[in-house]
A and B are shown apart, each in its own frame.
Chain A
């Protein structure tokens, strides 16, 4: 067997807030296309466009969901994206979903989608907010208590992430939370580490999920098992308690 070089996806385990305005590892933004037509997609990292593509939303026959790994995008020469046949094109059906996620790395991305015919008419600008009807998902791995804030209206919710256990762990589980400007429904969910929470926004939203209280993963050492060294009054003496 040829030995492969395998790297740990460290970004998965770094502690930071998850924001809909800056897509990072473990977050996914789903845009819901409700109207047929031609669209332009712009993916930005750190303010710089790294990927442009044309999206064609047809009435029938195209796929219902496409998930795009933003960390895997290899774009592009500076070109007029959508005027050239050679450019990247995605074809989806009306009422389809396009997901944007980051599989690895520390980069933060934003996504912009606009009508080709009316470039000023943006249907999505994730850096600003998630439009009504779109969804934001976060997969939480660190056990603990998380606070969810909708920065558009100030609504809050709580997610409690429990330690995963080999006995009853079921992969691929997700909870759905609905949000509008004033509130989340439900306001509290419990999930297991490695599971996801999907927020369905009924009004424009800007979501932030942050760890407020990490769970202890190992018991603290007993007090009587501690060894304490005290400095004695003398210049070199030490006393052990």
Chain B
């Protein structure tokens, strides 16, 4: 039988988890070159909401944790192909060879346009996971791994002494895929159209250039190689090409399961502080274990020699 038993109510556990969760932030940016266009993102997120449920089977269930995007910028750059007049060949009678005319181009090079709209308010996602509670011993004399995978994720400071630490250890995690709404597609198309149109002089020159490129909307779709909806294309890129969700999922797993304990107990544990010239009374903690029950978290341990 354990020497010590400690219980934490579900409500208290929920507040502790909430505190930990609110300290999780993620930001990242990347830009990938696809030849005719570049695509990138500049994102920052935090977590909000969600429910915590301690369950009798020694698991903990976190449901509907909201990913709130503080910044979700999509960066799209188009490399507009050369727009030229002239060219073509004309058949000539023998012995003159067929004559090919030179092309004269409207711009000195192939122009670029770039947009970076922020869709933070238009994208919503949730995370749910089921995990267990695990206790691990932190030995202050053991050096941290190098490189330290928790360096950027640690919000609970490293202790200066040995500790028993209790972690929420997610086993399975469900993340909503990026699903950009139709309005995002429309906004991107409008912004790109405006950016391309701004390059083109007005009047008959514009009519000529539009005729050569076949219209701005068609040009944009041809460059981006989009058969249908821009919003679906963008969702696929974020979900598959960028792998952003996998990355966030991995960070969340590390954040909770190995970088930030939800509770920590010093070893030795001080049961009486120093007073009246006497040294503090500390007891060594051994064999600490943790279990989840329906209404509380229970920690048991032995007092060592």
Contacts and interface: CB of A to CB of B under 8 A. Distances in A.
Interface of A: 1, 3-9, 12-13, 25-26, 28, 30, 32, 64-65, 67, 69, 95-97, 99, 101, 103-104, 135, 137, 139, 141-143, 163-166, 169, 171-174, 176, 192-196, 198, 200, 215, 217-218
Interface residues of B, number: 45
A9 B84 CA distance: 10
B210 to A, nearest CB: 5
B99 A141 contact: no
A166 B210 contact: yes
Interface of B: 31, 33, 38, 77, 79, 84-90, 92, 95-97, 99-112, 114, 199, 201, 203-205, 207-208, 210-215, 218
A161 to B, nearest CB: 10
19 contacts: A5-B109, A7-B107, A8-B201, A9-B105, A9-B107, A26-B85, A26-B86, A26-B104, A69-B102, A95-B95, A142-B204, A164-B212, A171-B88, A173-B88, A194-B86, A194-B212, A195-B88, A196-B86, A200-B92
A194 B208 contact: yes
Contacts of B214: 166, 169
A196 B99 contact: no
Given A26-B86, A193-B207, A194-B208, A65 B104 contact: no
Given A6-B109, A65-B99, A193-B208, A139 B85 contact: yes
B109 A174 contact: no
B211 A165 contact: yes
Contacts of B31: 1
A27 to B, nearest CB: 10
B102 A103 contact: yes
B10 to A, nearest CB: 52
A8 to B, nearest CB: 6
Contact of A3 (B101, B112, B212): B112
A65 B97 contact: yes
